[in-house]
Structures are given as structure tokens and as C-alpha cells.
Amino acid sequence: MAPSKKTTTKKTVKKQRTKVVCISHKEDTDGISSAALIRQAFGGDTILVDYPGQMEAMQQVVLDKKLKSLYICDLGLSKKTQDEFVDIMTTLRKNKIAVTYIDHHDIDPTVVKSLEKIKVKVIHDTNECTAVQVYTAFKSKLNDHASFVATCAAITDYMEDRPIGSKLLQIYDRQFALINATVLTYNIVGHQKEPDYLLYLVEELADSKFPHDIPNTFEFAQIQVEKLSQMIAKVKQGMKTMKNLGYMEILDAGASGAVNFVMGLSGKNVGVAYKERTDYGIYAVSVRGSKNCKVHLGKIVNILATDLGGSGGGHDKACGAVIPKLKIKKFITELNKKIK
Ligand SMILES: [Mn+2]
């Protein structure tokens, strides 16, 4: 945009490719911790996104003439987004930008093949959270505290029982790790509309601060816990059920904070919570399954959301979707049929 840039010759522009950028998931501890570990290992800029804003951020980063290497963390792909993602990565690779994609959500194997073909470094394991994989891959560039940042992410993603996750948790006192992971999570969830604060958290974690050492985090977490306890009452009142699931529209909080209560209080094995995103004309949907849920919700939601003109996917018992406003009822009734 700046007119001065246009006066420099192409050659000098090429030499100036020095920037490291990490695009990571902003909605949970795994995404924020992954961004912090990339920052500690490689420096550079952090861009935090949610699923509705994910592709837009990637389209923007392609235009960055100073970009030298890009890390993409904890951002799963869906049937709807995967082709565009490969296209964007192809453009980046043509410009000789080093790209590393690190994730643990269910992925179409043909996408991994396409990415490897264009020499995008893919680090992908559905069995460990993203931050644990970042920690493992770049351990030599990280300090001792980095294992704690990864441990907090594993706890929040329900993956502290996995081979590497459990080893990391063992380094620390379990309760000490749990309270820090929880306080961090409440601060992330409660600051979704304050991008500067989320970036500040990334910086503090990259700087080896414990969540409890970041000013006011406990006080803020207490406020969030109180809000959640009010949510229990609201879910009891507003939740509806179908044969195989409980569901509820959320008006004044995040859907992901309510969805576990919807599942738990409905007595069903699957819970659905959705919240309107007026800026995109869509519903942001969270889906959770109990231990008794035997289907892979991420795979089902990926296909169903795409069929309805949205997108979605994730893990077997925790996933999300973006659904066009008018299709939400259809999404819920179809999901109810597919999970029996
Ligand atoms: Mn994750």
C-alpha cells in the first residue's frame, strides 16, 4: 500500500524477505501456547485467528512482500477450506516461502500428500495436541519452561494422557499445572474480543511467565467462573433435546463455553451449542461428545457442514462448524440422524 515500497526494485524486495509469521488459533490454550512456543523459537509476528477468519488471514499473509517463513498452528482444515488452503500454500511456495503446518485435527490424507508435494513441512499427529508437537519439533530452540506451556495446552485439549503429553505433565505437580492451564484458558476465552490482550498473553508465555504470574489472571478467571455458573442455570432453562442430542442457541456468551453444560445437563451423548456471528451472517457451532459417543463427530460435522454450505470438523469428541444462518435447524436434525 505504501507508495515508497513501489520505488524499490524487485531485487531489493527479494533480499528483504526477513519476516517470520505464525498464524495460530486464538480461541483456546493450544493455539495460544503454540504461538508462544513458535515465538520463543523463531521470533517474528503472531497473527491470531478463529475459524471464520482463518482463510482471510492466510490470503492477507500471501501479500506480505517481506514474508520469509510461515508457521500455521492448531488450525484444522475442512472439505470446504482445504482446496483453497492448498492453493494459498502453492502460491507461498512459488515465492520460496518456507511453510510449516502443525496440527492435530482430522485431515484428508490427500491434502497431506498435496502439501508434502509442494514441500510444505507438515507436522501432524491426531494423538498429541499442537503445542506438544511444536515443543517436540523445536525443543532445541526452546527453554525448559516451554514444556510447561505445552503441558497447559495438553490439559486444555484433554490430551494430557497421551504418550508425550503425559510425560510432560509428569515434570510438574499435577494440581499446579491444572490450575495454571485453567486460569490461562479462562483468560483466553474471556478476552476473545481483545486481540491485543491475546497477543500480550502470547508474549508473556513466550517470555516464560507462568499464567499465575501474569497480572490479574486469577481475578479475571474468577469472574469467568461466575459467568459460567450462571450459564448452568441458563442451559437448564433454554436447552432442547432430540433423540440423540441436546442443543441450545447461546446469546450472550461463547458457544464453546456452554456446550459442555448442554451435553452434560441434557443427559445425551452429544451436545450442540451455537451462537450467531452477525458480522459473517453465520452461526458458530460447537459440538461435544461424551465418552459413550462412539462416532467420530469431527468427520460427520465436516461432511454435514460442507453439504449445508458451511464448513467444520475437528476431533472425534470435540469439533466445531460454521453454518449459514438459515441452515442451523437442518444441521441439528441431520446431525441427530447421523449419530444414532
Ligand atoms: Mn488444539
Which CATH number fits the domain that encloses residue 257?
Answer: 3.10.310.30
Å from CA of 298 to ligand 1 middle: 13
Domain boundary among 155, 180, 214: 214
Instruction: Output the pLDDT for position 9.
Output: 54
Return d(Cα 69, Cα 84) in angstroms, integer. Answer: 19
Q: How confident is the model over 153-165, as a mean pLDDT?
A: 96
Contacts by 122-126, CB closer than 8 A, 24 or more apart:
126/315
Task: Identify whether 34 is part of a domain.
Answer: yes
Q: What percent of the chain has pLDDT over 90?
A: 89
Say if residue 209 is in the same domain as residue 236.
no
Residue 232 CA to ligand 1 center (angstroms) comes to 25
Ligand 1 midpoint to CA 103 (Å): 7
CA of 156 relative to ligand 1 center, distance in Å:
8
Mean per-residue pLDDT, 143-153: 98
> Is the domain of 265 the same as that of 299?
yes
Cα separation of the two ends of the chain:
54
Centre of ligand 1 from the C-alpha of residue 30, in Å: 5
Where does a domain end: 182, 214, 246? Answer: 214
Residue 10: per-residue pLDDT: 54
Binned at pLDDT 50, 70 and 90, residue 278 comes out as confident
| Predicted confidence (pLDDT) at residue 340 exceeds the cutoff of 90 | no
Ligand 1 center to 4 CA (angstroms): 41
- 209 domain-assigned: yes
Distance 16 CA to ligand 1 centre (A): 33
Do residues 48 and 110 both lie within one domain? yes
Domain match, 99 and 125 both: yes
Tally of CA atoms within 13 A in the half-sphere of 161 that contains its CB: 1
The whole-angstrom separation of Cα 217 and Cα 287 is: 28
pLDDT band at 34 (very low <50, low <70, confident <90, very high): very high
* 173 and 261 part of one domain: no
5 located within any domain: no
Each residue's pLDDT tens digit, 42-53: 999 999 999 889
**Region 5-10 average pLDDT:** 52
Q: Is the pLDDT of residue 12 over 80?
A: no
The answer on pLDDT for 277 being more than 90 is: no
The single-letter DSSP state of residue 27 is: S
Distance 182 CA to ligand 1 centre (A): 15
**What pairs with residue 48 in β-bridges?**
24
Please compute the mean of the pLDDT values over residues 158-171 and round it to a whole number: 96
Distance from Cα 153 to the centre of ligand 1, integer Å: 8
**Same domain (yes/no): 120, 208:** yes
* Residues at Cβ < 5 Å from ligand 1 ion: 30, 74, 129-130, 157
Domain count, the chain: 2
C-alpha distances out from residue 306 to 74, 82, 89, Å: 20, 11, 21
Average pLDDT over residues 225-244: 94
Mean pLDDT estimate for the chain: 94
286 and 187 share a domain? no
- Ligand 1: distance of its center to the CA of 314 in Å? 9
Angle at 325 between CA 319 and CA 328, to 5 degrees: 55
Distance, CA 157 to ligand 1 centroid (Å)? Answer: 6
Statement to judge: residues 200 and 236 lie in one domain: no
Please check whether residue 234 is in contact with residue 273, taking contact to mean a CB–CB distance below 8 angstroms: no
CB count within 10 Å of CB 214 equals: 18
pLDDT, residue 264, reads 96
Q: What is the pLDDT of residue 11?
A: 54
Answer yes or no: do 174 and 251 share one domain: no
Tell how far the Cα of 101 is from the centroid of ligand 1, in angstroms: 13
Distance, in Å, from the CA atom of 190 to the CA atom of 181, rounded to the nearest integer, reads 14
CATH number assigned to the domain comprising residue 176: 3.90.1640.30
Same domain, 40 and 78: yes
- pLDDT for residue 4 is more than 60: no
Q: How far is the CA of 268 from the centre of ligand 1 (A)?
A: 24
Give the predicted TM-score (pTM) of the model.
0.89
Q: Domain range holding 52? A: 13-214
Residue at 3 is within a domain? no
Higher-pLDDT residue of 1 and 289 is 289
pLDDT of 252 reads 81
CA angle (228 as vertex; 223, 231 as ends), nearest 5: 135
